Amino acid sequence: MSRISFRNRTAAIGRSELIAFLRKQRRYVVVLVALIVILPLARFAAFTALPAGKGRVETIVELGKGRPLRSLAEELQSRRIISSARLFVLYARLKGGDARLKAGYYQFSDGMRPSQILTKMVTGDFYRRMFAVPEGYSTYQIAEMLEKRGIFTKDAFLAACRDKKLLSEFKIHADSAEGYLFPGAYNIIPGRTEKDVLKEMVERQQSLIAERFAARLKQSHLSEREVLTLASMIEKEAMVATEKPLIAGVFQNRLRKGMRLQSDPTALYGVRAFAGKVSKRDILKDTPYNTYRIAGLPPGPIGNPGADSIDAVLTHPPTTYFYFVARGDGSHQFSSTLGEHNLAVRTYLRSTPPPAAGPETTPVHSTKTAR
């Protein structure tokens, strides 16, 4: 046998053995390739289907305009909201959501799936904190509420209420926005300042007046500020909504007669530690707002009235009432004469009021109740 044929034979044997070896290993190669392909797909499927945690971690994240998706994803991963920034970016791009994200603040938890996180940012489901301003609340009461809720500090909100530039912008010719803030629900998102929220409150109140009361204001003998002042007093006095027009009638009857309004809430305006019962000391306080001491209306509103109280001032029916006294159940007994009023006081308060020289010096209602 020649040397060349021997080499050829040897090479043939080597190739056949290699082929045989590869055939034997093929199953392992297939498994290896399958693992290389399937494992990442399985991980991606698990990532998209399952949340990163159990909902015990919450965070608020800002998506600024032009912020790269990868930067946001890395922040979410660092805060343990998602398990992989890289997979989240891939998922968002596959869904086409990366180009439709809306800038803003969002609240996420680790109990949310990637699809839920992405949907929030695509639909603009921004993080908001809600608070509601009850009808009749003063600026001080609103400021205290905001501070307790951790939204703004009391001093910062009150400073905004007295901001001369803001007041001038809205043509409020007063030292404060008291009476010009709309009672209702508000959403607060991070980044909004006290002035931003105050502007919304004033704008909503001005819109209400323009839409519902502009025509009646033109026909009224009262200015807008006088209407708001009366409405704020009615808001504080009335616990029963149907009595608002009657209380409005009492106040305007007394104004026409030159009688002092003698309204408890005006004596209490500005009192920070009110125990719930009006005292003689409160009534005797010499303040610009105390209608037991001053004639006519206070210099401005004592709270922020709602639409019903404003409507009561402008549309109340004619009445002969000049007095009212609390019955003790939230409602009032209304009287046309001093004699009727004194009888009502004895009936409902079980005490005889001090003698008075005449209606000009007689309280519109008993000072033994906070209303």
Condensed to tens digits (0 to 9), the pLDDT of residues 49-67 reads 888 899 889 998 988 888 9
C-alpha distance across the termini of the chain, in Å:
127
The answer to whether 177 and 304 are in contact (CB under 8 A) is no
CA distance 53 to 44: 16
Beta bridge partners of 326: 332
Beta bridge partners of 333: 325
More confident residue, 147 or 362: 147
Q: Which residues contact 31 (CB under 8 A, 6 or more apart)?
A: none
CA distance 249 to 171: 29
Instruction: For residue 95, name the pLDDT band (cuts at 50, 70, 90).
Output: confident
Of 45-59, 96-110, 325-339, 346-360, the range with the highest mean pLDDT is 325-339
Residue 188's φ and ψ, nearest 5 degrees, are -115, 125
More confident residue, 127 or 137: 137
328: left (phi over 0), alpha (psi -120 to 50) or beta: left
Give 134-170 pLDDT, tens digit per residue. Answer: 999 999 999 999 999 889 999 999 999 999 999 999 9
pLDDT greater than 90 at residue 42: no
pLDDT of residue 284: 74
pLDDT greater than 70 at residue 1: no
Domains belonging to the chain, first-starting first, are: 1-49 (no CATH), 58-123 (3.30.1490.480), 148-219 (no CATH), 221-371 (no CATH)
CA distance 248 to 243: 9
pLDDT of residue 370: 32
pLDDT greater than 80 at residue 28: no
pLDDT of residue 191: 80
Instruction: For residue 367, name the pLDDT band (cuts at 50, 70, 90).
Output: very low
Give 165-188 pLDDT, tens digit per residue. Answer: 999 999 999 999 999 999 999 988
Q: Which residue has 């791009």 as its token pair?
A: 93
CA distance 91 to 47: 9
Longest dimension (CA), the chain: 150
Q: Is the dihedral of CA 47, 52, 58, 59 positive or negative?
A: negative
pLDDT of residue 355: 42
- Cα-Cα-Cα-Cα torsion 15, 16, 18, 19, nearest 10 degrees, comes to 120
